[in-house]
Chains A and B, each alone.
Chain A
Amino acid sequence: DTAVSQTPKYLVTQMGNDKSIKCEQNLGHDTMYWYKQDSKKFLKIMFSYNNKELIINETVPNRFSPKSPDKAHLNLHINSLELGDSAVYFCASSQRQDSGYTFGSGTRLTVV
Chain B
Amino acid sequence: SQQGEEDPQALSIQEGENATMNCSYKTSINNLQWYRQNSGRGLVHLILIRSNEREKHSGRLRVTLDTSKKSSSLLITASRAADTASYFCATDARSGNTPLVFGKGTRLSVIA
Contacts and interface: CB of A to CB of B under 8 A. Distances in A.
B81 interface: no
Contacts of A101: 33, 35, 43, 45, 90, 100
13 contacts: A4-B42, A33-B99, A41-B37, A43-B88, A45-B100, A48-B99, A55-B97, A98-B30, A100-B33, A100-B48, A101-B90, A103-B42, A104-B42
Given A97-B92, A99-B48, A50 B42 contact: no
A92 B37 CA distance: 14
A106 B92 contact: no
Interface stretch (B13-21, B59-67, B72-80, B101-109): B101-109
B41 A41 contact: no
B22 interface: no
Question: For chain B, which range describes its interface: under 10, 10 to 19, 20 to 34, or 35 or more residues?
Answer: 20 to 34
Contacts of A98: 30-31, 92
B78 to A, nearest CB: 24
Given A100-B33, A103-B44, A106-B41, A56 B101 contact: no
A102 B48 CA distance: 13
A104 B100 CA distance: 16
Contacts of A45: 99-101
A56 B104 CA distance: 21
B98 A56 contact: yes
A85 to B, nearest CB: 19
Contacts of B43: 43, 90, 92, 101, 103
